[in-house]
Structure 1
C-alpha cells in the first residue's frame, strides 16, 4: 500500500506531454514559386504547410523538485505537413532540444534554443509570428532567412548549423526570469572553435515589460562567424490592446561584417492590427518593410502585406483564409536562368490547423 501511495505522489509531481500542430492549406500563387520565392510571371497552385502556425511535433517533460524548484525538458522538430518530411533533414529536433532547471530565482536552460530576438518577437510581431517561413520579422529581424535577391550574408554566424539562418542556436545557455511585469533574458552560445572562444559564438540580452493592455519588448545580440566577423542585431517593439482591437509594431536592424571592407545592413519596420469579431472569428492585417544595403550591390528590399481571417471551429481546430502581396525593390527579385523575376508576387491560402 505504501508503495502505491509513493508511486502516486511521484506521478503527481512529474508530467510528460507529447504534442503537435499540423497546419496545411491550398495555396494559389502569382509570380512566386511554391517556396514563396520570386519567379518570372506565372500562376501555380501548391499545398503549403505552416501558413497559420508552423507544423511541429514534440515532447515536454517536467518534474517538481520541491521548494519551487523543477526540472524541465523540451524536444521539438518542425514538420512539412504537405510531404510528411522533417523541416530539417539533418536534425530530428531542429527547433528545441534543451534541459532546464527552474527555481524561484529564474530558469537556466541548456541546449539548442531560439535566439533572444525570437523570444522578443512573441509579444510584438504584428502577425503573432504566423507564417514563419515568409514573415519578415522572423526571417530578417529574427535572422531565420537573411538570403533574398542577388546577395546574402553567405556564411554562418553563431552556432546555428546553417548559413543565412541563425534563428536557433546550438550550445546555448539561456537564463530567464519574471519579476512582476518584467521579463528578463540573457544568453550565451558557445562556438566550440578550438583556440578561439569568440569565433562562432553569440551573446545577448532581452527585456520586456507587460501589462494587461500594453507591452514593450526589446532584445540585442552579437554573433560571430568562424572568421570572427561580427553580426550585430537588435529589435524593439510594442503592443497595445483597446477593447477588441490589438495594435502591434516592431523595428529591427542588423549589421554584418561579411569580409574585408564588406558589410550588409538590414532594417525591418512592421505594423499591424487585429480584431475579434463575433464568436471565434479573428481578423489580422499587417505590413512589413525591409531595406538592405550591401557593399558592391544596389540598395534593395521589399514591402509585404498580409491579411488573415481565422475561424475557431473547436478548442483545437482553426480554419483560416490568408492573403499576401509582395513588391520587391531594386534587384531584390533576382533572376531565374538569366530571366528577371516578377517584381510583384501574391499568394492566397485556404487552410486548416489542428493542435493535438
Structure 2
C-alpha cells in the first residue's frame, strides 16, 4: 500500500499513482504485513482517485519458495485476483516486485508488467559475501531462479535504475527493459537552507524495517559515530524514519543521538542537517533518500551502493566513500569546514536539476502501460504492491 509514504518505495508509488489516476482506472491490490495500518490510509488512495483493497500477508514456510515469495503469500488476494482478472482482457496488471507475480492466474501473465525496485538476488549475494553466510547464498540462488521464471513469464519487465535494467536484459538475453526512474521534485529547494556556522548535525533518513538500512544504522552506531566524536565531540546524529528497533531507540540514551520515528515530511529533518549520511553496504535501485537530500541541497556522504543508478550526475555531486575510514574522514571534514560544506551543497543543488521529475517518470510509466494495452480509450489497471 503506497500510503502512508513511510519508505522510498511507497513514496514512489504514491507520486506516480497521483499523476496517472486521471488517465487510468486504477485499483491497488495490496498484500500487507500491516493490514490495520494500511486500511487506516484507504482515504489517501480515494483522495487521488485510486481504489484500494488490502489483503493480509500470510507468510508460509513452503519448501522451494524464495524468501520474498514466502513472505508475500495471501490466499485471499490470490482468489480475488483470479476472479477480478476473469472480467476481461482490457485489464493490465502492474506488479511491484517479481515476488507478487505468483498470486496471479496464469491467463493474466500475458498482460502483466513487473517493475523491479531492486534485483533481490543481488542483495542476497551482497549480504552473503559481507557475512560469509551459506544460507544467504542459498537464498540468493533460489531468488535468482524465481526472478528468472517470473521475468520470462510476464509480458514486460521494467526497472528503476539503469544498472538493474542492464542486469535484467543480460539475463533475458537482450529483451527490452525500460527504465522508469524516480523523481525528487517533491522536495525541490531553490537554495539550501543554511545551517548555523557552528552546526554539527549528521542525519540518516530511512525505513528501518528494511534490513540494508538497519545494517547502515548499525554501522553508524558502532563505527562511524565513535570516530567522529573523537574529532567533533559536539556532533549530533539524527535517525529519521519508521520501524526503529529497540537497540536503535536505546542509542538515544546518549543526548547526542536522536531517533524521531516516522515523520510525514522529511524536508525539515534534511534542512536541519549539516551532513546527510547514507552508509549503505547492501542495496540496489536508486535511493530515494539520496535524491531527497540532493533536492534539499544537503552535503551527502555515501558509499558506491548509495550511488547506484546515479552515475549520470555531475562528478562530485555527493561525497562517495569506498570504506568506513573514508566516511569518517568525510564527515569530520564537512562538519569542520563551512566553506567545503557550502561548495558541496551547491553541487547537490546542481545535481538535483539533473534529476528526473515525477511528471517525467509518470509519463514513462504511462507509455509502458499504453504499449501493453490493446485498443484505445479509458483502460483499467490493477496495481499490486
User: What is the TM-score when the length of structure 1 is the normalising length?
Assistant: 0.24
Indicate the structure with greater strand content: 1
TM-score (norm 2): 0.23
